[in-house]
């Protein structure tokens, strides 16, 4: 399976007070990205994902950040592309929008 990487703007939802506040560290793997199929909003999929970012600070509820989302799924380009909204799950929740797909050495990652 191939790795697919996407840059995105993410908002970590504020804590609701019913559960402990969780900090997300760069490289967090225990997350799931949920998105609708591009052009077919009735079709959706959940992708296990890893989030990384340049800043060394942890993301906390209420934070906004530019991140790289890495997924391993051949169908990822059918659901994730520039302008596509998504939700984030795992030890908290959030939402965001894909800004672009990452290419490495001229080849799609």
Confidence of residue 1 (pLDDT cuts 50, 70, 90): confident
Query: What's the whole-model pTM score?
Result: 0.86
- Contact status, residue 69 vs residue 51, Cβ threshold 8 Å: yes
Q: For 18-47, write each residue's pLDDT tens digit.
A: 666 678 888 888 889 999 999 898 899 999
DSSP annotation of 35: E
- Domains for the chain: give ranges and CATH numbers: 3-104 (2.40.30.10)
- What is the C-alpha to C-alpha distance for residues 72 and 4, in angstroms, rounded to an integer? 6
Rg, C-alpha atoms of the chain: 14
- Contact status, residue 34 vs residue 46, Cβ threshold 8 Å: yes
């Amino acid at each position: 399976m191939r790795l697919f990487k996407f840059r995105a703007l993410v908002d970590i939802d504020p804590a609701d007070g019913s559960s402990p506040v969780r900090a997300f560290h760069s490289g967090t793997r225990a997350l799931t990205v949920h998105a609708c199929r591009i052009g077919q909003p009735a079709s959706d999929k959940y992708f296990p994902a890893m989030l990384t970012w340049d800043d060394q600070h942890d993301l906390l509820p209420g934070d906004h950040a530019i991140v790289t989302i890495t997924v391993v799924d051949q169908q990822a380009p059918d659901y994730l592309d520039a302008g596509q909204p998504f939700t984030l799950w795992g030890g908290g929740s959030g939402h965001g929008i894909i800004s672009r797909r990452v290419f490495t050495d001229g080849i799609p990652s």
